[in-house]
Structure 1
Amino acid sequence: MTALTPFARSASAPLWTLEGLRGADPVLGLALLMLLAVVLAEGLHRAVRLPRACGHMLVGALASPLVLRLLERSELDAWKPLIDLAIAVLVFELGTRIRPRWLIDNPWLALTCLLEGAFAGVAVALSLVALGAPSLSAAVAGVVAMSTSPVITMVVLHETRPRGQVTERLLLMTALNSVLAMLALKVWNVVAAGPGHDLLMTGTGALYLVSASFLLGAVCGLLLELFSRLVRGTSAMPVLQVALVIIASMLAVQWTLSPLFALLVAGMVARARMRHGLTVEPQLGSVGAALSVVLFICLGVLLSADGLLALWPWVLTIIAVRLAGKGAAVALLARPSGLGWRQSAALTLALQPMSSLAVLLAADTFDWASQLAAVDRPVLQALLVATALMQLTGPLWTTLALKRVACESNAE
């Protein structure tokens, strides 16, 4: 337990004081934060209809170096395997809820899925270059701006339980733009490595990454279908799902594959093989729900406002241009793909929560600077602040889009 040191080391002060909290046992400290997060989130939800995920992140922000300094960002690295598991659970569930066949039946929708990420990424990159950012650094900002947070999307859907065409498209686009961002980040790493890099070896590595990640996900999906015949209809089914999610995620990391891609494929293959026989509890049950609370507390701790006053033009540009890029792609193909204007506006808003998943799942720590060492520091900081703002407000955007603008029906 001593490896988990999210609180300071002194335990002499009473527990109810700030010094006492900083000196608390790590497990006790985490439990107290989870208790506070659940109570505060529920209170805010009932009082002002604030999405619970926002409440969880607010508790993390309060405990972060920005406010009370109960947690240091570097101290979250010991929790990263647990947090990665929480992300993996949500990504697998996302994979079980999307229908790839829809892309074949509606090619205009497939084109929309490609363009909404590409438009946002290119628009952000060009805008930052126009503001004086180095081109390679602006490109990585554009890559991250392509993706929508699958974590925020799934948690909001669990809470609001909407049903309708906007919800289905949101799930599909979130999955695809996250994968595209991951692949684009790999390309960026090759370009940033310089002209002396072996392009043939890099191309082979990229092919290995995609094909092996797909194969790993497909095998895990098939194994879930095979083993589920023994435990279907019993309480062991969620346990089996969690076990295979852990196996797929850890093998992907060990073999330097993409956990994001592998888990999405595992979910899709399991759904295709089992169809209505596949029952997936939200967040794979109560353990997954608890992990999600920890995840959003940690996201709150990682929120950054450093340099906001100096970098606000770049931060606002990333947010505004990303919104315009995704909105333009969705609106351009709305009618051919069978979407109304009101639904297009709702989908654009729902796609706004920006994701750091393409970076975090490929990293060993939460230190973006070490993972993106070639990125210009002001650009990276502006990207961190923009991502923090979009993650903190993301549940509001998505809830507003699905329940107010699109007026999706409730599953209950």
Structure 2
Amino acid sequence: MMELTILQNDMAWPFAILIAWMAGEFTHRWVKLPRISAYAIVGFLLAPSQLGLLPVTQSPTMLLMANIAFGLILFESGYRINLRWLRNNPWIAVSSLTEAALTFICVYFLVLAFGQSTTSALLLAALSMATSPATILRVINEHKSSGQVTERVLHLSVLNCVFAVLVFKIIVGLVIFKTSGNLWDASYNGLVVLIISASLGVGFGIFIPAVLRKTKRLHQDGTLAFTIAVVFIVALTHSLKLSPVLATLTFGLVVRHRRIILNASQHGFGALGDLLSVILFVFIAATIEWRQVVAGVGLGLAIIFVRQFAKIIGIGIFARVSGISWRKGALIGMATMPISAFVILVLEQSRYIGIDLIDQLAPLAAAALTLEIIGPLFIQRALIWAHEVPEIKEN
């Protein structure tokens, strides 16, 4: 009996990943749904608090694997950011800042209206600012989309992540200081973490291309080198309790502006990237408990509505002045719906460093589950309606 229990625990995650991959392939083939929506449904159903296939104890190894998967996607997201474009068209950054600020304000007052504490309102508002580049990039790569809506929503998602991490870390630092009165702990978990994490990404963004140029293996070994570097950065930030989100985003951004060109086979990191994406989205959905979804469903759905309204308005008002139509501005706002991958991993990282906010932020469980499943559908529709998906173009 003990041997069967050990076997079940050992095989739980490999079995879940296999089931999720099969579900993703069949749903994509039969009903043309994004694969990651199926991964999320399988992960949620097999979670300990639902069907109970996956182990109750949170595995540090799986958290690290999910962070590595997220890190690879964030690296590629950062790599695709064109700072020259943002300088030439500053209205894109202005629209991002406006919709992030509008989202924060609207969600903050909404949460207070539901009778939540000021701390919960601040934390929920900060995390609601984010848009998950992981979900957006996987859908973009899956459909091979390209165009104004594709590029803008990817740029806005990265900027939103940076804004959300900055505000979230500052608020967490203030909460720690208010609770313990320890200025060093508050500072370290706030601004110091952000500065060190960004510096780490910049350092690797300079060092790795220099090594590849020196060894004359830039084109042959680029993917391998960047993958190893991302794994190392994520493991190091995980161990030092820094921010892997900011470190990997910065790494990708610096690599691009060191004039390193990734060829087509390097985008998405091939089969390794696909495997880790399955792990990432199954892991994210498996962390969501049904009781938390039920407890926060009212506020969670309200947050989804208010958040989406704020983002569409914040982006839409700058659509014409930034060089696109109102329609495309609305489609970009619609495509910024995903949030789950960023929020869940940030909260899991916070719990890992000793700051457990999961129970305080139960409404996010309902929002995360909903957006984990329907978010990819909204991105897919937005890209199709913008005529930026190749199959649609051909038709």
TM-score (norm 2): 0.89
Return the letter of the residue paired with 1:396: L
Find the counterpart in structure 1 of residue 200 from structure 2.
216
How many positions carry a matched residue from both structures? 389
Return the letter of the residue paired with 2:380: T
Residue 380 of structure 2 corresponds to residue 399 of structure 1:
yes
Deviation at 1:166, TM superposition (A): 1.0
Structure 1 CA distance, aligned partners of 2:324 and 2:181? 45
Structure 2 CA distance, aligned partners of 1:196 and 1:178? 28
Instruction: Give CA deviations for 1:321-375 in whole Å, capped at 9, x if unaligned.
Output: 101111110112111111211111211111011135356247458689x6345x8
The range that moved more, 255-264 or 240-249, is: 255-264
Change (3 A) 1:316 1:58: closer
Residue 86 of structure 2 corresponds to residue 100 of structure 1:
no
Find the counterpart in structure 2 of residue 132 from structure 1.
115
Find the counterpart in structure 1 of residue 166 from structure 2.
183
**Contact between 1:190 and 1:202, CA under 8 Å: does it hold in 2?**
yes
Change (3 A) 1:113 1:179: same
Find the residue that maps to 2:154 and give its secondary structure.
Answer: helix
In the TM superposition, 1:278-297 aligns within 5 A as 281-297=266-282
In the TM superposition, 1:141-156 aligns within 5 A as 141-156=124-139
Change (3 A) 1:65 1:254: closer
Return the letter of the residue paired with 2:168: L
**Residue 21 of structure 2 is aligned with which of 6, 17, 38?**
38
Instruction: Give CA deviations for 1:39-86 in whole Å, capped at 9, x if unaligned.
Output: 221111111111111112222123123542101453344411111111
Return the letter of the residue paired with 1:355: S
Return the letter of the residue paired with 2:100: G
Which runs of 5 or more residues in structure 2 are unaligned? none
Change (3 A) 1:160 1:201: same
Structure 1 CA distance, aligned partners of 2:187 and 2:59? 34
Find the counterpart in structure 2 of residue 173 from structure 1.
156
Deviation at 1:27, TM superposition (A): 4.7
Find the counterpart in structure 2 of residue 302 from structure 1.
287
Structure 2 CA distance, aligned partners of 1:356 and 1:188? 20
Instruction: Give CA deviations for 1:171-194 in whole Å, capped at 9, x if unaligned.
Output: 111111111111111111133231
**Residue 408 of structure 1 is aligned with which of 388, 391, 394?**
388
Instruction: Give CA deviations for 1:292-331 in whole Å, capped at 9, x if unaligned.
Output: 1111221231233325455432122111110111111011
TM-score (norm 1): 0.85
Structure 2 CA distance, aligned partners of 1:169 and 1:109? 8
Structure 2 CA distance, aligned partners of 1:290 and 1:200? 39
Return the letter of the residue paired with 2:376: P
**Contact between 1:77 and 1:366, CA under 8 Å: does it hold in 2?**
no
Find the counterpart in structure 2 of residue 321 from structure 1.
306
Change (3 A) 1:304 1:398: farther
Structure 2 CA distance, aligned partners of 1:185 and 1:365? 10
Return the letter of the residue paired with 1:41: G
**Contact between 2:174 and 2:186, CA under 8 Å: does it hold in 1?**
no
Which runs of 5 or more residues in structure 1 are unaligned? 1-8, 13-21
Deviation at 1:267, TM superposition (A): 0.6
Change (3 A) 1:67 1:173: same
Residue 217 of structure 2 corresponds to residue 231 of structure 1:
yes
**Contact between 1:149 and 1:354, CA under 8 Å: does it hold in 2?**
yes
Structure 2 CA distance, aligned partners of 1:266 and 1:44? 34
Deviation at 1:396, TM superposition (A): 0.9
Deviation at 1:117, TM superposition (A): 1.5
Structure 2 CA distance, aligned partners of 1:28 and 1:75? 15
Structure 2 CA distance, aligned partners of 1:35 and 1:143? 35
Return the letter of the residue paired with 2:219: G
**Contact between 2:12 and 2:53, CA under 8 Å: does it hold in 1?**
no
Structure 1 CA distance, aligned partners of 2:325 and 2:248? 32
Deviation at 1:242, TM superposition (A): 0.9
Question: CA-atom RMSD, angstroms?
Answer: 2.8
Q: Which runs of 4+ in 1 moved over 4 A?
A: 9-12, 198-207, 277-280, 307-310, 361-368
**Residue 30 of structure 2 is aligned with which of 41, 47, 50?**
47
**Contact between 2:172 and 2:190, CA under 8 Å: does it hold in 1?**
no
